[in-house]
Each structure stands twice: as C-alpha cells, then as structure tokens.
Chains A and B, each alone.
Chain A
C-alpha cells in the first residue's frame, strides 16, 4: 500500500489547537478517521467536541496543528474549499434554512462526486426519510425539530460526502428516529464513508463506534476501539463527568 492510498478519504488531526480571539478552546486534539470508519468523540459540555468539528471545517478564526483530509493539507483553506473536498456537516442545532423549502434545500446542497457515481440522489434521500418527501414544498422554518434534524442530515448527504461530521445527532430525538440514524450510520460505513460523531451519551458509541476518543478541556485524553469501551469508560469517568 502506497502512502497516497493510505491517505485516501482519511481525516487526520494531529496536535490541533484552536482559538476564538485570545480565548483558547482546543489545546491538543489528535484523532484519525479512515474511510468507512465511525469515530465517536465523547466528552462533557465544553470539552471541545463541537469546536473540534468546526476546526476541521475551518470555521474557527485561528487553528494550529496538522489537519489533513484525503492527502491534502487543510491549513489556510476556506470552509467552502474544505467542504468541496467531500466533507459533510450536520450541526448540533440543525440550522436549517428557514426560508427555503425542503426541495430547494436539497437542490442547493446537491454536489456530485468527481469520480464515483452519486449515491444520494433526491429520490434516495426521500427513501431514507419518507417524511421529507411529504414535506418537500414546506419551508424549513415550519418543520418540527425532528423533521429539521432529518433535513439537516439529508442536506449533508446530498453533497455525497466521503466524510460526515455529525454533532449530537441523536439528541432529543424519538427512539424510532434514533434507530433510523443508527441504521444510517451502518449504511454509510458500508459505503466507505467515514463518520466523526460528537456525543454526550455513550449509548450511540456502544452501538456504532469503531473507535472512541475522549476529550477533556480541549485535549484528546483517551482513545480506544469499541471492544475497549468498557475499560475506557471506567478509566475516563472523571473526564466524562458521568
């Protein structure tokens, strides 16, 4: 295996630090997400989970440390350039466009990958979330919280990303929808799409994580496979605050 192949579709963060102005939010975050791999980031409120995802996309004024995706250095790249490399983002607070209809949102977000055929056509997305098909002509602002969550996920998938960043995907969702998301994560992994997921609860990590990273006060303090999860949790209790 050549070095280039090893990097294809792989996200590497090494010693990432980030600042909002003079306030430092991340100190040393190191993690990797390979193609088809699901990495769950655990940590209590304010540990830097959201900031880590935003740092990947260059949404933070100052970021230092190594950030690479698909063999390319992300340093200095603008958010839209990073997104075009094949990274989709589902923000924690959904942030759907309240004035755009569901159909308009998906049209806007559609982006075909350069090489392989597009997996997530609009029909395919409506198959995934049939509710969205019924709501196609409704404005985002008029949807319920759960419906907005579906739209936010569909919006990220419409770009046919090779890596998806999910911020608290199961927070406040009905159990049935939560199961749907777990299922989706398995599907994406099967397609070779990498996933980086932030979570407060460990239930999702138990169900889908290939690997778990524990963040505490802006540092990645523990890393391990799902098999090591019980041991990690025992060791990580003071960091998780549970």
Chain B
C-alpha cells in the first residue's frame, strides 16, 4: 500500500516541476497566440545556471535557495531580452512561422549553452539539508521531492492571486480575450506581452534549476521538456492556468504509475493521452481560449503555383540532364551529398503539398519519414527482404500510418492540427525508443545495405535520382490536377469550397496519405543510404528540417522544396564541416528566413510585390466596414 502512496507522491513532485515549466508556455500562448518552441531552452539554461550557481554558493540551505532563485530571475531577464528583440516581431504571424522562428531561437541557445558549459552532462550536488529521505508509512521518500510537491501548489496560488487581484493580472486576462479593447482602455499590450513572457521564462528557469539535485543537466533538456510542456498545454487547455496545473499533475501520475504497470509504454501513454484529449475535447480539460482558425492562416502564402513556361521547362530539362551526368564528373563524396539532398527534396515535396498547397501545418512529418525508414529496415532485418521489395514496403507502411493518423488529424485545424501531428510523431518516436525487441531502441538497426547493383556510390545515386524525380513528377502532376486545385481552394476559402460541395476532410485526408507515402519513400531511401536506422529519424528535428526546407525554397513555388533541399543540405554540409556550432548558424538562418523573407529563395521577389500592394493586410481586415 505504502508503495502506491510513495509512487503517487513522486508523481505529484514530477507534476509540480512540469507545472512550473509549462505555465509560461500556456500563458504566453493565451495572450499572444505565439507557440514558443524556445520555452524548453529556458528550462535548459535554468538548469545550467542552477548548476553553476549552486556549485558556487550552495554551502548551506540559504545559499542553495538563493542560487536557485537567482537562476530563475536570470532566465526571466533572458526571456525579456528575447521577447523585446525577436518574439515581438512575430505577433500575428502564421503559426508555421512562429513555430519555426522560436525553434531557431532554441537552436541558438543550445549552441550558446554548449559554448559556455561544454558538451558533457553535469551532475549537481544534493540540496543542503534535503539530501536524505523521510519514511512515508515505512517507505523512504526523498525529502527534496517532498519540497517539490509543495512548490507547485504554492506557485499556482501565487499566480492565481496575481491574475485575480492585481491590475497587471486583470489586464493580462482581459488582453487574452480581446487585445484591441484592452488597448482602448489605455493599457499597453506590448508591456503585457513582455511581462508575461518574463514571468513564464522565470518559472521555466526555476523548473530547470530545481532539477539540478535530481538529474544530470544536459543539452537535450530543452527538447525533452518542451515536448512535455506542449502536452500539458494541450491537455490543460491553451492559456488556462488551472488547466496547466491539473494536466501536469495528471501526467505526473500517468508517468509514476505507468512505470509501475507497463514500463515500456510510459512515453507512449503520455502522448496518447494528449491525442485523445485533442480529439475528444480540443479545448482541453479546462476550456482554455478558443484559437480562431483564420482562413488561409496556416500558410503564409497562398499564391497559386504557376505552370512552368517554356524557359522553365528548358531549365528543368537541363537540371535533370546535369544531375544524370553528375557521376561522370563528381567524386563519390559529392555523389552521396547530392543523393541525400535528393532524398530531402522528396521528403519536402510531399510536405509542401500538405503545407504549401493544402495549408495543413504538420509538425510531425518525421512520423512518415521514420515509418518509411523503419519499414524498410524492419523488413530487411526481420524478414530478410532485399532492397527492392523493402523500398516498396517503405512508402506503403508510411501511407498506412498516415491514413490512420491522418483520419484523426484532419478533424482539426491550425495549431490543434500541428499539435496532433506532433503527438503522433512523438508516439512513434517513443515506441522506436522503448520497443527495443523490435527496433533495437537507442542502438538502432544496423546493416541495411542496398542490393549489389546499387551498392556503389554511382549506382545508389542513380537509383535515388530516378526515385526522387519520379516522386517529384507525381507531386507536380497532383498539384495541377483537379485534386490539387480543390485542395488549394479548400485552403484559401474553406467556406466557399465547402459550399461548392468539395469534400474538404476527404481532400485533406488524401493529401495526408500522399504526403506520408512520399515521406516514407524518402525514409526508405535514407535507410539504405545510411545503412542503418535510429529513433532520431522520427524526431521533432526531422519534422522541423522539412518545414525549414519548404520555407527556404518558398511556399509558392513547386520548385521550392527542391531548391530548398539543395540550399539547406549544401549549407548544412558546409557548416558542419567548418564548425561545431552548426545549430547556431542554422538557427540564425531560420530567423533570417522568417523575419526577413518568409517567401523563401524562390518567392522573395513575389513577397516584395505583395508588400508593395499590401495584399496581406487586405485579407486580414476585409470583413470590417
């Protein structure tokens, strides 16, 4: 019996920390509608600062707690700085751009932390005076965790007071509902944004610093925590303070008892819970703010891709001929690099169909890339298939997965859709990690080599080229088919498209399956290109990579994914060769792309024209008289 009590208590402690970490994310989202991917980085920085400061000052309890508080405040200041310089420019931008830009901020912070604290895990000291344990009905329980159990409710109470009995709190609640009317009362919304952002970063930093006595501080804390914080925000309801507390405690308990009952699926359980909540109660346990789904809000540019003119056809033919002739001149290393770029182009082309044309922002497209990669690897490894049937199985596995997940995802729009796709990708990622009997877990599956005829660099390059070009031709064909036009219509004017009798959900589902299949094909090729598969192919980083590529190439142009993949992979390869700090450069690149030219390389000129005519604002304001 006491075992369960202790397990429940450790769930409460974990829930407390999770609440501290998530509360800022939900408050910032409620007020500004910005999904801050960099929020997890505040936890990471809080952890590192906590480590350094407790090492320096924590000779006694007073020094320890002062160090923790100081870390939190420093992270709050960092948050304020980032809000003032970067986040401020993103208010009102489509969610794809805010997600990407804040992801870029996270990359930069990660490399900054690596520069300051180095790549090794850091193990902090126990909290002075709290290092032991107390007996709970005879079972020992860490004293420090008991303190954590209390901190969560205390912070909830303090925030509740702040939001119900101070003018600042009232203003934040009012502006969360109606920013314009709040401003008409003489309240400056920008100051509220900064205030809430600092508040959220402070608590995230506190949550990170409080981890110092419990776990090693690593550079991976950011992604680990941001994904869990997303789950809390979604389950609790976007922008809801009590919702975040409830959800954090719920997840704490699911994890605590999940370990007791089925240790293999604890991670899957959490994300499955999120998916169920999104489907059944999209507004969360305690209904948070309703996120309006604006027409065409999902993609920043809905300009129709133009059909190729004679020059473009000629250019395409020349490019294809050049690529086919490449083995005659290029060395094996370059062939491998170009083959990888082609795989990325294929992956991004499907995503472009979904995001650029369909307006469905998938934040978990890695799911289908990974399904393809694992589909190929598993058939080779467990069934002894050769490359050709495995490469057929890859897209089929991914398309089947996309058909299943897509059927659920297309019932939601905007940020809810993005979160659902992320949840499904994370479920697969967790499964790949924890189902070691099938996937080998962290050790991956090795020895996935191509058949003899495609084993050499030239052979595999030509195979990749043929498959990728076929895939790209299919996407092009689809984009200019009646299906493609219907998909675009459903993106630009959903109400009118529905009134015309277009089956929007079915269209979106079909786009999901096609994009999934193409990603799976790319994933299968990738498995054979690398000779191995690891859970990382299912990670958020891969999903974001796909989005960066289509953004880099430009959302309007069908050639966008290809150009984007070439530029991206070229830059990545060169930067990674030149410097350890490739994340920093990639993050900076993303920020420049989002802030300076969301049209991408291929669409930069078009964006200039649109800014000139002010077309974007017309769409936003046309409904008022």
Is chain B a partner of chain A in the same complex? yes
Report B522-558 residues with CB < 8 Å from chain A CB.
none
- Listed stretches A27-35, A64-72, A89-97, A128-136; interface member: A89-97
Residues from chain A with a CB closer than 8 A to the CB of B622 are: 20-21, 23
Residues from chain B with a CB closer than 8 A to the CB of A21 are: 614-622
- Listed stretches B166-174, B204-212, B349-357, B431-439; interface member: B166-174
Considering the chains assembled together, what is the distance between the CA atoms of A195 and B619 in angstroms?
32
Given contacts A23-B618, A51-B624, contact A111 B186 (CB under 8 A): yes
- Does B613 interact with chain A (Cβ within 8 Å)? yes
B185-A109 in contact (CB<8A): yes
- Does A107 interact with chain B (Cβ within 8 Å)? yes
Residues from chain B with a CB closer than 8 A to the CB of A25 are: 624-625
Residues from chain B with a CB closer than 8 A to the CB of A57 are: 184
- Of the candidates B185, B189, B618, the one whose C-beta lies within 8 Å of that of A159 is B185
A19-B171 in contact (CB<8A): no
A100-B625 in contact (CB<8A): no
- Listed stretches A77-85, A177-185, A201-209, A231-239; interface member: A77-85
> Which one of B178, B614, B619, B625 has the greatest number of beta carbons of chain A within 10 Å?
B625
* B599 to A: closest C-beta gap in Å: 17
- Does A48 interact with chain B (Cβ within 8 Å)? yes
A83-B184 in contact (CB<8A): yes
B620-A20 in contact (CB<8A): yes
Given contacts A48-B625, A59-B180, A97-B173, contact A107 B618 (CB under 8 A): no
Report A33-55 residues with CB < 8 Å from chain B CB.
45-51, 54
Considering the chains assembled together, what is the distance between the CA atoms of A97 and B173 in angstroms?
8
Report A107-148 residues with CB < 8 Å from chain B CB.
107-109, 111
Q: How many A-B residue pairs have CB under 8 A?
A: 98
> Which one of A46, A62, A91, A97 has the greatest number of beta carbons of chain B within 10 Å?
A97
Residues of chain A at interface, number, CB under 8 A = 39
- Does A7 interact with chain B (Cβ within 8 Å)? no
Residues from chain B with a CB closer than 8 A to the CB of A98 are: 177
Residues from chain A with a CB closer than 8 A to the CB of B174 are: 97, 100, 105, 108
Considering the chains assembled together, what is the distance between the CA atoms of A104 and B174 in angstroms?
10
- Does A61 interact with chain B (Cβ within 8 Å)? yes
- Does A190 interact with chain B (Cβ within 8 Å)? no
Given contacts A61-B617, A61-B621, contact A100 B186 (CB under 8 A): no
- Does A2 interact with chain B (Cβ within 8 Å)? no
Given contacts A57-B184, A108-B171, contact A22 B613 (CB under 8 A): yes
Residues from chain A with a CB closer than 8 A to the CB of B613 are: 22
A22-B186 in contact (CB<8A): no
Report B176-190 residues with CB < 8 Å from chain A CB.
176-178, 180-181, 183-189
Residues from chain A with a CB closer than 8 A to the CB of B186 are: 80, 83-84, 111, 159
* A133 to B: closest C-beta gap in Å: 19
Interface residues on B, range: 20 to 34
Given contacts A51-B625, A89-B184, A108-B167, contact A22 B173 (CB under 8 A): no
Nearest B residue to A54 via CB reads B624
Residues from chain B with a CB closer than 8 A to the CB of A78 are: 183, 188
Considering the chains assembled together, what is the distance between the CA atoms of A90 and B615 in angstroms?
30
A22-B614 in contact (CB<8A): yes
Given contacts A20-B624, A98-B177, A100-B170, contact A80 B187 (CB under 8 A): yes
* B369 to A: closest C-beta gap in Å: 38
* A160 to B: closest C-beta gap in Å: 11
Considering the chains assembled together, what is the distance between the CA atoms of A57 and B182 in angstroms?
12
Residues from chain B with a CB closer than 8 A to the CB of A23 are: 618, 621-622
* A177 to B: closest C-beta gap in Å: 21
B620-A79 in contact (CB<8A): no
B residues sitting closer than 8 Å to A (CB atoms) are 164, 167, 170-171, 173-174, 176-178, 180-181, 183-189, 613-622, 624-625
Q: Can you add 8 more A-B contacts, CB < 8 Å, to A45-B625, A61-B617, A111-B185?
A: A19-B614, A22-B618, A23-B622, A83-B184, A84-B186, A97-B173, A104-B164, A108-B171
A residues sitting closer than 8 Å to B (CB atoms) are 19-23, 25, 45-51, 54, 57, 59-62, 78-80, 83-84, 89, 91, 95, 97-100, 104-105, 107-109, 111, 155, 159
- Pairs across A and B, CB under 8 Å, 16 listed: A19-B617, A20-B617, A21-B622, A22-B613, A23-B621, A25-B625, A50-B624, A51-B625, A79-B184, A83-B183, A83-B184, A97-B177, A97-B178, A98-B177, A104-B164, A111-B185
